[in-house]
Structure 1
Amino acid sequence: MDENTVGFFLKGFIKEHGLTLEEFAKIMGTSFGLIGHYITGRRIPTYDFLDNLFSNFVFSELEKVELLYKLDMEKSTGQMKELRERQYFLLKTYLKEEL
């Protein structure tokens, strides 16, 4: 599994919080099977899923940007991917200066 994916992040996040897939899925209001698909990369999470994640757990603005970047890189192709990379680099630089 590529460490730059949302699935890789979720696997570590769930473990870090001492949750089972079932417990995490219940908090997120979805099935543990879907979470399993996200973790293995069979499916890519939706933006609504990330919004729900941010609502249910505490993240810094920088962590939110980094996770959104991972999701965008999974969903984007070609020139859009290149544009997103530049966009997130600038945003991340700005946030680090503000912190």
Structure 2
Amino acid sequence: MLSSDTMRGYNDTIILSLLLEEPSYGYEIAKRIKERSNNKYVMKETTLYSAFTRLEKHDYICSFQQGKTMGRRRTYYEITAKGRNYFDQKHQEWLLTQEVVNQFITDNRL
């Protein structure tokens, strides 16, 4: 299982990548993160909702109410055009990060 410290800098990008596919709500996003990581990363609810607040504050996502669960309307999140641009920047940053880190962490220690 990956530590939340390792993943902290990538949480927003992970959430945005899922929202690129379709609008979704918190529980479903958390479930998809767990499934796609083959249970190696579980995003805590507080981490997820803190990220939603931060992303919405920067206009990277917007929220809307839809459907009902146990009498309450669900809050869905959707990526904005600004969020798509931010995701593209973070994707390029990730590629560069991999390139740099791979220069130091290799299998040549054997």
Larger relative strand fraction: 2
**Larger gyration radius, structure 1 or structure 2:** 2
Larger relative helix fraction: 1
The TM-score normalised by the length of structure 2 is 0.28
